[in-house]
Structure formats: structure tokens, C-alpha cells
Amino acid sequence: MASIPPLLHVPPFPGARALPPLAVSGSGKPAPGEAAQFVAALRDSRVGGTFWGAQPPCARQDYRLVRAPDLLRAEALLATADRDVRPILLWLDTATADAPQDVEILTGPCDPWHMVEHAQDVLVDANDDLALIAALAGKRVRIVGDGPFASLNSSDDALLRVIEDVLLTHWDWRDPFTGAPCSLLDSIATLRHWRKLIDANRPIRGAFGFGAWKQDTVEALLWDGGDGAVPFLPAQDSALGKLGATDAIALWKARVPAPFLDMCEKSGHPLYEVEDGFIRSVGLGADCVPPLSIVVDPLGAHFDPSRPNRLEQMLATVEIDAELRARARELRALIIESGISKYEVGDAEPLPRPGGDRRHILVPGQVEDDRSVLLGGGDVRGNLDLIRRARAHEPDAYILYKPHPDVLSGHRVGHVVEADALAHADAVVTDQPIGALLDMVDGVHVLTSLAGFEALLRGKEVTTHGTPFYAGWGLTRDLGSIPDRRGRSIDLDTLVAVTLLLYPSYLDPVTGLPCPPEILIARLVAGVRRENKAVVTFRKVQGNLRRALFRVGSAA
């Protein structure tokens, strides 16, 4: 029996390393109730078989689905059944030019759950796991020949027996990221996560604005289950014209020319905005360190308060259960313990408080022409104005200003002359990790910076002068304009669960597979990197040159 495939497999994500097995040959006795849990979890998750495969439209409904490798075997299967049942849909491995009259044929890897969804019954060989999926879906199944599924029908008793005899007794389950033993339900949960990601990407048929240095890490997170990765296309009207009228496109808006962006917005194509995730990498995007986390939003950018976006809608509506709440708390503790921020892993010793007993406030600078600043910065006029406003609200505090790392690297706009900053702040800090600074201070004043969210994770007071995504939910003191859409008060666990567990996608730099944030954090803490060292080195040299030229210009 152990030679029978275990039903559950790792999808062939583009860019993934050699795919690890989810199951290894084993022997054991299923625990009481385990088979029933397996049935419920599979039905809910719709995983098993090639669930990542295509979901072709079928011309008719209530068809008899016949699954076979080729037309010859399909005809043999049909010979065993009532020939008057119509319509008939043949699902074959290879195309054929000799289709019988009034028979629809589909070929290639398809999502078996999609294929059985509108079938009235399923005709299949006894060694084909489609029989099990059809039975799980509650379909009538006619099974031909001898094999592990020969006794299967759509009753729950038969399902439980087959699962115990064929699947549970002969397989042990493994975590695909670590290879460690795990439960069958854990394996199903991993596949469910992948299915949700793949299904969300199915409408996307092209991607614009993605630099070559980030495509290798992003392709798995944008994969729709088809052959190869999503096409990364040049920002040209000819490329846009090759897409179907209803095809969605993924856009990194800041990296496409304004005329092309205007063309996309007027084209009628659904637009999925892509941005860096909130736990991104060790290293800067400005240095061409590729992102290991992204967010893909079909409504708009999460930092644009002028319009709804998926993150905002989730924060306004999602109710988290006890399991997700506990996971959010554990993730928050892990982030604090590891010193993780968007670009850093902190291993610094606790910092002294240079202002003694005074209240300590951190003001993190930002890239002044970043889209989050332009869209959510309100009437604040740059980093120096933010420092001035922080001092006006904190007249007695010890204020530390930390320039944005992309600005310090020499690649982005937002430099504040140190003397100007010190006219309002007590210190300018450039060499300390943001996590260590957040641990030390009492609060932060931010424009739209993610540092405000990271401060909330650490239980710090947060004052917002712009409109970041985490403002307006009852967790921050908000001085900027807050949309009426954000009238709900939420707790920190809900903010963490939605922002870090439900909204972004993460990539494991070791396996190349989409992963949970806990795996990515473990890899970053262990020092795992995924980048083109030559490109990163060149960008750092380029940034150093720009900083030197700026200093010369400032002194002139």
C-alpha cells in the first residue's frame, strides 16, 4: 500500500528548490477520530491532488466526469457505465483529435476540486486519487478495477475506512520547511495556506514595474498554479495590449512611468497593487536586496487613506478566533525577542537612556518622496517639519531623530542637515537598530512610518502626524486626518493578526516556498540571505558616492 501516492503534495512553485515530500513511508495506528478530522479538514481546505492546477470553464453543468490518461482508457471506462448519461466531460492527460460526438474534452493538470464541483457523477480507475476527492466532495463515484480506492463510495463510513487503510496507516507527515515530523492536520493547514495564495493570484496575467533583481523572490508569491511564473512585462502599451480584456495585472506603481500607469488605470484591467511586506529582509530595497515578503491588494495601496484597501477592510471587519489570537501574541513576542524590523535583525545590547529620567521620544525619518508619504503625509512638510511638530507636542522630552536607512544609504530623498535637526531634537541617531531604539524610548512620533506599528508591538505610545494604516483604530494618538471608514476600535492582537498573519505573503529563502512569518523570522535570525551580492555591493558603492557628493555640495 505504501507505493500509493499520499494524496497531499507540495505545489511546484516557480523558483522553489527540490520539492520536499510532505509524507514519508511509515507505519502506525491512526488515533481515534483522526480520520474524521482529516475528512473535515480536507473538505474545508479543498486540497489534495493537483489542487493548484487550472480551473478551465466547462461548457455544461451536471456532467459525467470521466478521468483517464487517454481516450482509449476513457472509452473503456465508459463501456462499464450507463451510456445514456449526458453530458460527458473527459479529463485526459493528453489532447486527442478523435473526440467522440457531444463529448467535451479537457486536458492537462487541473484542479480536481474544480473538476468535480459541477459533476453529477465521476467515473474513474480504482488507483486514481480523484476517486477520493470526488467522494470527499459528496459526488457519486463509479470506480473501475482493483486498487486502493476500489471500495470507495460517497458515504462517510467508506471514506473513513479508505483514509485509515490507505493514507493514515502507511504515511508519516513532515514539515516542508524543516523536515521535522508534524501532524497530518498541520500538513493540511500548510496546503490550505498555499491554496488561498494560488487562488488569489489566478486572475493575474501580467506584472509590471518589477525590477529583475526582485523577480526571483516575488514569482512564487504571485504564482497562479500554471506553467511557469507570472509574466514580468515591460511597461509598454504593446505589452498591455496582449492581455485579455478582463485579465488582472500586478503593479509595483512606484516603478512604472506615469504615462503607463495612467494607461493601466484607464484600461479597465483589474489592478492589484504590490508593495513590500512589513517583515521584508535584512538589507534595503534601495540596495537591491529583494523582498522576502510582499502584499498584494486588489483594492489599493494600504498606505493610501483616500480610498479603501483590503488591509483597511480586514481591520474593520475581521473577528479573530482564539487560535489566531494566541498565534498573534506568540508572533509579537518572537518579533520583540529577535529584534526584527522591516529591514533589520537586532542583536544589540539594551541601550542606555541618554536623557536620564526625561521622557524619551523617537522620531523616525522617512523617504520624503515615498508614495506612503505623498499619499498619507497630510500637511507635514518633510522630516524637519515632523521633528518640529514632535518638539511642539513634547516640549520637555528627550527627542532622538533617526534618519531613514534608504536616505542614509544615499539613494533616496529626505536628508536633514544635522544642525537643523538638532535645533529641535536632542540627538541624531544613525548607528543603532530601530528595534533597540524602540525598546529604549517611551514613545514615537511618526508621519506614516512602519516604525509606529513596530512601536505598538512593543507596547509603546504612538503619535501619528499622517495617516498610516494602523492609525484610527483606537491604538494611537492621531493628529492627522483619519477616514470615517476607520470607526472601529480593535485590540493589538487583532492588528497583529490581520497585518502580519492574514494580509501579507512571505517567502522562505531556504526552500523557495511561500511560508508563514515565523519561518521567515527564523531564517533571518539564522543569517540566511537571498540576494545578488554583486548588485547589492554596487548599489552600496553608488550610495556612498552620492553621499560624498551631497556633503561636497552642502559645504560649497
Give tens-digit pLDDT for 357-385.
Answer: 999 999 999 999 999 999 999 999 999 99
Q: Each residue of 139-189: pLDDT tens digit?
A: 999 999 988 898 886 667 888 988 887 778 888 899 999 999 998 899 999
In whole angstroms, what is the distance from residue 374 CA to residue 367 CA?
A: 10
Q: Please, which residues bridge with residue 444 across strands? A: 362, 462
Provide DSSP, 494-522: HHHIIIIIIS-EEE-TTT-SEE-HHHHHH
What domain count does the chain have?
A: 2
Same domain, 187 and 335: no
Query: Mean of the pLDDT values across residues 313-341?
Result: 94
Judge whether 311 and 278 are in contact, CB under 8 Å. Answer: no
Judge whether 421 and 445 are in contact, CB under 8 Å. Answer: no
CATH number, domain of 75, equals: 3.40.50
The pLDDT score that the predictor gives to residue 552 is 42
Please give the grid coordinates belonging to residue 343: 529591514
Has residue 78 been placed in a domain? yes
Has residue 8 been placed in a domain? no
Has residue 423 been placed in a domain? yes
Residue range of the domain that includes 46? 23-192
Provide DSSP, 257-306: -HHHHHHHHHH---EEEEEE-SS--SS-GGGTPPPSEEEEESS--TT-TT
Task: Identify the domain boundary among 160, 192, 224.
Answer: 192
Same domain, 177 and 325: no
- pTM (predicted TM-score): 0.89
Task: Identify the domain boundary among 174, 192, 210.
Answer: 192
456 alpha-carbon distance from chain centroid = 22
Task: Identify the domain boundary among 141, 171, 192.
Answer: 192
Has residue 443 been placed in a domain? yes
Has residue 292 been placed in a domain? no
Same domain, 325 and 185: no
Has residue 540 been placed in a domain? no
Q: Is the dihedral angle over the CA atoms 112, 114, 117, 121 positive or is it negative?
A: negative
Has residue 403 been placed in a domain? yes
pLDDT band with cut points at 50, 70 and 90 for residue 17: confident
Q: Output the CA angle 244-248-250, nearest 5 degrees.
A: 130
Has residue 149 been placed in a domain? yes
| Rg, C-alpha atoms of the chain | 27
